[in-house]
Amino acid sequence: MALAVSSTRATAFDAFGRGVATGFVLAVLGLVAALLHGLRVGFCDLWDGVAIFALGPGVGAAVGGAWGAAAGLVAAGRRRRRTAAVLLSLAAPVATILFSLWRFWSSPMVFAFDPFFGFFAGPLYDTVIEPVDRLESYRLGSLLSLLAAGVLAFHLDRGEGGFSLASRRRPGVALAGGLAAAGSLFLTLSGPRLGHFSTSASIRDELERSHASERCEIVYAPSIPEHEARLLGRECDGHVRALEAWFEARGPERITVLVFESEAQKGRLMGAASTYIAKPWRREVYVQFARYPHPVLGHELAHVIAGSFGAGPFRVSGPLGGWIPDPGRIEGVATAATPSDDPQLTLAGWSRAMLDLGLLPPLGSVFRLSFLGENSSKAYTVAGAFVEWLRAAHGAAAVRGWYAGTPLPALTGGKDLAALEGEWRASLAKEALSAQALEAARARFDRPAIFGRKCPHVVDRILGEAHGRLGQGDVAGARERFDRVLALDRAHFGARAGLGSCSIKASDDADARRRFEELAGDPKLHAVLRLSAEESLADLDLATGQLARAVERYRRIAAGVADEDRLRTLDVKASPASDRERAAIATLLVGDVRLGRDFGEAAALLGEWSAAAPDDGLPEYLLGRNFYNSGRYPEAARRLDRALEKKLRLPRVEREALRLRVIVGCALDDRPRGGEALSRFRALPGVEPAARAGVEQMAQRCGLQ
């Protein structure tokens, strides 16, 4: 547009009109191309897609045409007209992108609204993104800006010396332009309130509360209890000390942890809803509230600690001095430094399973941007396992140096990544695996990445709506949405299982059993998913009083499961020795087949069970666990102590009761009782290495040892 206008003597208003019209036509052509492609491969969500296209690049093309016209008018008549037209036309789009990058660098934001490209969501792993409402108000500002620019162009005269303002004797037009400019300015200034952008100050103003611990500042929403914020501060300090020991490096003196009350608030204010984010260069971590211990706080803090020896403006690892991030090194270092207390397998164990299944990707594809094309569980696990091995084999200095950009041969005696990969793969042979663990790994890692899924954004959004409707008792609404998911992804396990749950809610047990039996017998599904369907059948048996059949199913399922948490739950479900125990366990873990679960009702039944069987610690354990889940740590401690004083006939329950008592001891800063539970836990036989390491790490962070 700039080149075309620069070669003419068009008036400012004619050039403006031509630019907007051309942008509109090009946007329509783009939309038509997208629709033709959709007719060929199928649509995910036609009308939402059209709306986002129209509000994003659609209006953006019109804005681009208007700017191109302005650039052409300025370039016209200059000695290097074409060069000037091209440079001026690119100046504004490039400037707005740089401005968005500056906002990303200078604030917690990871999303961006832009007059040309419209909307950039930010986090890759957030599949449910709904920008339309915010785009509507943002694009109202764009349209007002175009109207103001058009009125200005209408009042410009073109002479030999350039452009000058001229009266058109149409005060109404001038007033409209002035009001449009004022409206656009108002919407711009209202950006934080409308969700177009955020600043550190605007986010802190909404979160309101803060608590300072030794090394961390916890900035939190007022709905989060103060004692939870203080506990998070203590946990943060413990993680910082542990991470500094792991890296053998000092991190920032102060780290800010912004704690949002929910995914929705976090997504609205900084752009990442379900994805957790850290910005090492800002020494900030962004998480939503979760009970102690926070599931990902340590991982995100690891990014910040690693930033103390990271490179570039973002203090991360990657080529060109960190200007091009290497997500494999970035996430691998954080995963290795804070391994999950996964009771199934260690990072090396999971990697061995992938190796045996032929799913282990080459490290050359993990430690580069192609990391993002892998299944996230696979990519994080492999990267973390290799970094963990690298530290064990060559020391923390090698990890720090590689992260900072030093080539691996200079850190490992001349060995490059390929040579180290061979040694690492050979070391995986030492990891012992069961057939159940292999099948669990197949289900966990043999899944497509987000780019390989069909309509992931729409499917996950509709699936969330379906489960919400089911939870509210709207069976018809839930069914309609599960059917919509299956129309997009015919084999979607969650939607198929959801229809079975709808049948249970609708009192059609026969249809529910039919649906779950189909899933349990579907050879196309992973064994883990087939067992999940089988467990739904067993739960229905347990809830409806068919105890013998339920126990038989649970024991058959347990033979194919490797996950200790799930095995413990199966043990509990299969343990009732009387209808009193069955009713209590079914009410707590399965719930009423029509009304769902209710802890108040379950607590009453568990209390009756405890009174009738004073030597049985299981009901007290179940109460203690649920009090812990709700953040009632003193009551959880009391119930767990009672359970551990009695007989716990299920070994997995005894292990978990002691593990929880260690955690509750840390939460209450009750070192004597927490230390006693830790000693008993250490003496237990048969604890998986990952689970044992997780408890030891927790105890070390909170000072029990």
**Cis omega (within 30 of 0) for bond into 313:** no
**DSSP type of residue 316:** B
Cα–Cα distance for residue pair 193/184, rounded to 1 Å: 15
Average pLDDT over residues 677-697: 91
Q: State percent of the chain over pLDDT 70.
A: 99
pLDDT band at 562 (very low <50, low <70, confident <90, very high): confident
Residues with Cβ within 8 Å of residue 111, at least 6 apart in sequence: 119, 120, 121, 122, 270, 271
pLDDT of residue 342: 67
Q: List 163's β-bridge partners, or say none.
A: 158
The closest of 343, 317, 484, 472 to 405, measured between CA atoms, is: 317
pLDDT of residue 563: 86
pLDDT band at 615 (very low <50, low <70, confident <90, very high): very high
29's tokens: 């052509």
The closest of 256, 261, 258, 128 to 198, measured between CA atoms, is: 258
Average pLDDT over residues 616-628: 97
- Strands 209-212 and 216-220, by their bridges, are antiparallel
pLDDT of residue 123: 85
Task: Spell out the CATH class of 203-308.
Answer: alpha beta
The pLDDT tens digits for 85-119 are: 999 999 999 999 999 999 999 999 999 999 999 99
Residue type, 554: Y
> Do 399 and 416 meet the contact criterion of CB atoms below 8 Å apart?
no
Q: State percent of the chain over pLDDT 90.
A: 81
The pLDDT tens digits for 459-511 are: 999 999 999 999 999 999 999 999 999 999 998 999 999 999 999 999 899 99
Average pLDDT over residues 249-276: 95
Three-class secondary structure assignment of 561-622: CCCHHHHHHHHHHCCCCCHHHHHHHHHHHHCECCCECCHHHHHHHHHHHHHHCCCECHHHHH
Average pLDDT over residues 142-167: 88
Where are the domains positioned within the chain? 2-197, 203-308, 526-600, 614-705
Average pLDDT over residues 550-557: 95
The pLDDT tens digits for 520-529 are: 999 999 888 9
**Cis omega (within 30 of 0) for bond into 293:** yes
pLDDT of residue 620: 97
pLDDT of residue 436: 85
pLDDT of residue 597: 83
pLDDT of residue 592: 83
Cα–Cα distance for residue pair 94/105, rounded to 1 Å: 16
Global pTM value: 0.91
Cα–Cα distance for residue pair 370/401, rounded to 1 Å: 22
> How many CB atoms neighbour CB 217 within 10 A?
17
pLDDT at 24 over 80: yes
pLDDT of residue 450: 66
Question: Which numeric CATH code is attached to 614-705?
Answer: 1.25.40.10
| Look-up of token digits 């599960």 | 482
pLDDT band at 35 (very low <50, low <70, confident <90, very high): very high
Residue type, 160: E
pLDDT of residue 595: 79
pLDDT of residue 452: 72
610's tokens: 């405890």
Average per-residue pLDDT for the chain: 93
Cα–Cα distance for residue pair 438/358, rounded to 1 Å: 11
pLDDT of residue 449: 66
Q: List 277's β-bridge partners, or say none.
A: 286
The closest of 657, 615, 662, 665 to 640, measured between CA atoms, is: 657
> Do 486 and 496 meet the contact criterion of CB atoms below 8 Å apart?
yes
Cα–Cα distance for residue pair 667/274, rounded to 1 Å: 25
The number of residues making up the chain comes to 705
Average pLDDT over residues 33-44: 92
The closest of 588, 688, 574 to 629, measured between CA atoms, is: 588
612's tokens: 């009738």
Average pLDDT over residues 296-310: 97
Cα–Cα distance for residue pair 288/301, rounded to 1 Å: 14
pLDDT at 158 over 90: no
pLDDT of residue 425: 96
pLDDT at 373 over 90: no
